[in-house]
Amino acid sequence: MSNIRLLLSYDGTAYHGFQRQPEFHGPTIQGTLEAVWRELSGEEVVFTTAGRTDAGVHAAGQVVNFHSGTRIPRQKIPKAFNSLLPRDIRVLSAEDVADDFNARHDAKWKRYDYRIDNRPIPNVFQRIYALHEPIPLEVKLMREAAQLLEGTHDFRAFAASSTSSKTFTRTLYRCAVRHEAGLLCITCIGDGFLYNMVRIIAGTLLDAGKGRLDAAEIPAIIASGERRRARETAPPHGLTLTYVHYGAETPREVFPELFLQAGWDGGKDVRL
């Protein structure tokens, strides 16, 4: 048996999240992948994922692994998968990894991006990948609040009340608010994320941008540990799991541009 790692991208619009669910909930990414592999190889396998994305959340760099006795050459697995998968799921690469590799537990850090279309009239081509917010946002205020979220904290105030996590301490290496291809993008890089954490951060920063939240309140919200103190959970369709890292490199080494405030202060280096 080999342990195979896949790199995936998918549009989560039509799916009830990544994790397999009873059929009456609707299709899931995991269920679809496992059904296609069964058709390709005749094997019943279980896919382990780096991050269980919620219903409607997208992925550009999701990682999964599974154990298989297949003889299909690894370089041909993406083509074989993609010939049977729906067009909104793509396998980008496949490779053998160590037998004890686990896509979830071995991940060192992850990057999520939440995109916002802040124009009065939305771009129709972004409507399923970015939240439309017609109220003009004060980006400077959002950045001030975002910086106060960085570091190692107990983030239970930014976790859904239904979370099953036993611990709430996470390290947020970077929380950046920047412009990207005509959209406003909130980028969160951390060693792990609680259920709905990035979407709650996005909702909180949106309120800061609307002038409804003073950035100075962020430390008190974190210290309170109370979900009601943070703001509403932003809708899922603006969120994308962009990247999962397994090596020793730091986020600054992999994404140096995110640690430079280029575009609003001439590229001055910032902390972290």
CATH (domain of 26): 3.30.70.580
Residue type, 112: Y
Percent of the chain whose predicted confidence (pLDDT) is above 90 = 89
- For residue range 76-117, what is the model confidence (pLDDT) as tens digits? 999 999 999 999 999 999 999 999 999 999 999 999 999 999
- Contact at 8 Å (CB) between 258 and 242? no
* Residue among 190, 115, 194 nearest 157 (CA): 194
Residue type, 221: I
Burial-class residue 15 by CB neighbours within 10 Å (0-12, 13-18, 19+): buried
Same domain, 118 and 93: no
Residue 272 within any structural domain of the chain:
no
| Residue 182 CA, distance from chain mean position | 20
Residue 260 pLDDT = 81
Domain boundary among 46, 62, 97: 97
Percent of the chain whose predicted confidence (pLDDT) is above 70 = 96
Mean pLDDT across the chain: 93
Q: Which of 19-33, 80-94, 180-194, 244-258 has the lowest mean pLDDT?
A: 19-33
Checking if the pLDDT of 8 tops 70, the result is yes
Beta bridge pairs of residue 63 = 7
Residue 258 within any structural domain of the chain:
no
Checking if the pLDDT of 227 tops 80, the result is yes
Residue 102 within any structural domain of the chain:
no
Beta bridge pairs of residue 170 = 153
Checking if the pLDDT of 232 tops 60, the result is yes
Q: Which helix (H) or strand (E) holds 29?
A: helix 29-41
Checking if the pLDDT of 221 tops 70, the result is yes
Give the domain CATH number at 124. 3.30.70.660
φ, ψ dihedrals at 122, nearest 5°: -70, 155
Domain boundary among 69, 97, 125: 97
Work out the number of other CB atoms within 10 angstroms of the CB of residue 179: 12
Residue 272 pLDDT = 34
Same domain, 18 and 90: yes
* Residue among 112, 106, 80, 107 nearest 93 (CA): 80
Does the active-site annotation cover 117?
Answer: no
Same domain, 116 and 245: yes
Work out the number of other CB atoms within 10 angstroms of the CB of residue 68: 18
Res. 271 pLDDT band, cuts 50 70 90: very low
State mean pLDDT over 232-240. 98
Same domain, 123 and 160: yes
Checking if the pLDDT of 161 tops 90, the result is no
What's the DSSP call for residue 74? Answer: G
Of these residues, 54, 113, 117, 207, which one is catalytic? 54
151-154 and 169-180 beta bridge pairing: antiparallel
Using the structure block, give the residue that is written with the tokens 């430079």.
260
What is the distance between the terminal CA atoms of the chain, rounded to a whole angstrom?
42
